Amino acid sequence: MSLDILRVGSPGLREVAAEVTRLDDPVVVREANALGEAIRAFRAEHGFGRAIAAPQIGIRKRMIGLAMPGWPDVIVNPQIVWTSSERMTLWDDCMCFPDMLVRVARFASISVDFLDMRGERHLRQALGRPESELLQHEIDHLDGKLSFDRAVGENAVVHRTVFEAHRAAFAAQVDYFPQPL
């Protein structure tokens, strides 16, 4: 099993991930641990990354590794069970194309149902924008979708160096901009 992040253009990123049926399967446990290792390695190299969907490292299962306080390290079989009527635009970044950002539209809030690795069911309701946008992004990966599929507006893709050089101008183009200016 590799911890290398698949890059945009990799066919595996377009496949729909399979539901996890046995959390006690040693392969599933090993793959769940690999998600945490992959996040840590990516953050060390690139300085960002709060989550990783299993398909991003070639694991075709519905699992997401998280590096967020108050959340399990891995969530399994997540599904969005509610979406707000409000939408938001934001600049989305991704481990699969770390040098680019894409302006996307997402729901401003969602509720998500999932299992943790112990098999306990969780329902997180009416999440705030940071968690909502992140989980929508990661669940998209489980469904074979990329940020480019959600791109909105003209010039919706920008190189990170251009973005960083003109942060305030790019912030003015979206509804939600969590990065400090």
- For the segment 93-152, what is each residue's pLDDT rounded down to a tens digit? 998 998 999 999 999 999 999 999 999 999 999 999 999 999 999 999 999 999 999 999
Catalytic residues: 138
Domain assignment present for residue 119? The answer is yes
Q: How far apart are CA 178 and CA 24, in angstroms?
A: 37
159 labeled part of a ligand binding site: no
**DSSP annotation string for 41-76:** HHHHHHS--SEEEGGGGT--BSEEEE--TTS-SEEE
| Annotated binding residue 96 | no
pTM of the model as a whole: 0.94
141 is in an annotated binding site: yes
Q: Would 3 be classed as within a structural domain?
A: no
DSSP 6: P
The total number of structural domains in the chain stands at 1
Q: Which domain holds residue 93?
A: 9-170
Residues 27, 31: Cα–Cα separation, whole Å: 6
CATH code: domain of residue 14: 3.90.45.10
pLDDT at 1 over 60: no
